[in-house]
């Protein structure tokens, strides 16, 4: 009896120890699952912050482009709303990743890039705000703002990749914890079923909470994706409108044979039509200061130097008719107009102007002057003399009409005395 009692006691003691071991192991596994879930939740929060930060950057970029194109201050509302949001998002990211030295280093790189990006956007907006649409578009076309935005997105992508790597590790750790729990539960005795059942109920509850959180996060991610797609579509429309307006401007300059130029900080910029007027390849760079004098006849170059000096001193816009030399020595005539661009303190920042090809007009004027030199002297019968001159020069009038008209014109001219 004592032996049986001892065996029972030993059995009960072993069973109790086993029960305690199963319970302790189950509780440890549950704690590991809770810890893993908190880390996963934090990872999803970090990823959500990164997505919202990318969306805010897209808002700023879209608003700035829209304002540069249209000049409508209404485009700036999303930009003003996004700036404080960006500060909050970066602050939240720093707090959420405070235990990760690598992510903290990336955030240290991200903050100055965000500051530079916003400064660049403000610079472009400031230029557009004072009515310099062309200068603002030139700043945009230089690509500095796009480079800063791309670098910023790259760092945000690295933050996301690091967080996804951590999330994968935590998923594997969570899976390992679940497997240990199952092995312990299924290796225990029947007496541990109650504890196992309680552990399963608790695990199921945690899983339901996790699923609900994942569903909520998934819904939020879908909303963010829709927002990003919408902003991307708006940006594409804005870019298309910008390209169409640029094409219309080029076409208008081509039709009117008018090009525009600008000299700023010893840098010369030409529109495409300027290259056509001077007979140069638009894909080549504008001529340097040392090359410019070879584009004009000596007389025209001397007049340009005097005019630039006068405009620089007085600030009064000027206009000149100049003879230029195209490649091969072919002469042309242009009407050049220029004016100064001043800063807020009245200092001269740059020169800008236009050049219009007037070669055809000058040719007509020269032919007209030449034709007038053949008119007869006044006499007692002026109308008779005029008719005689028109008869002798009728071929010249017919030639000019054929040059101007696309259809064939037949002219019958007769004079009666």
Burial class (CB in 10 A: 0-12, 13-18, 19+), 167: middle
**How many whole angstroms separate alpha carbon 220 and alpha carbon 352?**
51
Ramachandran angles phi, psi of 48, nearest 5°: -65, -40
CA distance between the termini of the chain = 163
What's the pLDDT at 415? 32
Cβ(349)–Cβ(341) below 8 Å: yes
Q: Provide the whole-model pTM.
A: 0.38
Distances from the Cα of 337 to the Cα of 25, 115, 351, angstroms:
88, 40, 10
What's the pLDDT at 407? 33
**How many whole angstroms separate alpha carbon 282 and alpha carbon 268?**
14
User: Which CATH architecture describes the domain 257-363?
Assistant: 2-Layer Sandwich (3.30)
Q: Where are the beta strands (DSSP E) in 121-237?
A: none
What's the pLDDT at 3? 53
Cβ(159)–Cβ(63) below 8 Å: no
Cβ(107)–Cβ(87) below 8 Å: no
Q: Give the three-class secondary structure for 124.
A: helix
What's the pLDDT at 375? 55
Cβ(312)–Cβ(323) below 8 Å: no
Q: Give the three-class secondary structure for 388.
A: helix
Which H or E run includes 48?
Answer: helix 2-70
What's the pLDDT at 342? 87
Which parts of the chain have pLDDT scores under 50?
377-383, 385-386, 389, 395-417
* Per-residue burial over 276-313, b = 16 or more CB atoms within 10 Å of its CB, e = otherwise: bbbebeeeeebbeeeeeeebbeeebbebbeebeeebee
Ramachandran angles phi, psi of 316, nearest 5°: -90, 130
């Amino acid at each position: 009896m004592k032996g049986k009692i001892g065996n029972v006691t030993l059995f009960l003691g072993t069973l109790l120890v086993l029960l305690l071991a199963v319970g302790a192991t189950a509780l440890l596994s549950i704690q590991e699952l809770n810890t893993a879930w908190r880390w996963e939740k934090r990872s999803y929060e970090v990823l959500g912050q990164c997505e919202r930060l990318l969306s805010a950057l897209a808002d700023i970029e879209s608003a700035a482009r829209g304002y540069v194109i249209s000049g409508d201050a209404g485009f700036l509302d999303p930009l003003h709303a996004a700036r404080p949001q960006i500060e909050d998002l970066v602050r939240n990211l720093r707090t959420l990743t405070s235990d990760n030295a690598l992510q903290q280093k990336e955030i240290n790189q991200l903050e100055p890039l965000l500051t530079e990006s916003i400064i660049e956007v403000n610079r472009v907006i400031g230029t557009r705000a004072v009515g310099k649409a062309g200068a603002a578009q030139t700043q945009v076309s230089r690509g500095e703002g796009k480079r800063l935005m791309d670098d910023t997105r790259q760092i945000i992508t690295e933050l996301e990749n690091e967080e996804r790597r951590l999330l994968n590790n935590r998923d594997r750790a969570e899976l390992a914890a679940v497997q240990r729990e199952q092995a312990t539960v299924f290796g225990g005795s029947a007496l541990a079923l109650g504890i196992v059942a309680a552990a399963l109920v608790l695990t199921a509850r945690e899983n339901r909470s996790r699923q609900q959180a994942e569903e909520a996060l998934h819904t939020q991610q879908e909303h963010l994706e829709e927002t990003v797609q919408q902003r991307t579509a708006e940006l594409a429309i804005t870019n298309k409108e910008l390209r169409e307006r640029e094409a219309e401007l080029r076409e208008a300059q081509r039709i009117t044979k008018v090009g525009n130029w600008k000299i700023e900080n010893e840098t010369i910029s030409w529109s495409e039509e300027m290259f056509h007027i001077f007979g140069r390849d638009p894909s080549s760079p504008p001529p340097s200061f040392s090359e410019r004098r070879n584009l004009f006849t000596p007389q025209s170059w001397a007049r340009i130097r005097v005019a630039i000096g006068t405009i620089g001193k007085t600030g009064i816009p000027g206009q000149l008719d100049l003879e230029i030399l195209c490649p091969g020595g072919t002469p042309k005539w242009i009407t050049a107009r220029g004016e100064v661009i001043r800063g807020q303190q009245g200092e001269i920042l740059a020169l800008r102007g236009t050049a219009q090809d007037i070669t055809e007009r000058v040719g007509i004027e020269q032919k007209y002057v030449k034709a007038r030199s053949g008119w007869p002297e006044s006499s007692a019968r002026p109308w008779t003399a005029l008719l005689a001159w028109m008869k002798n020069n009728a071929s010249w009038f017919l030639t000019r009409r054929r040059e101007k008209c696309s259809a064939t014109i037949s002219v019958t001219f007769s004079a009666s005395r």
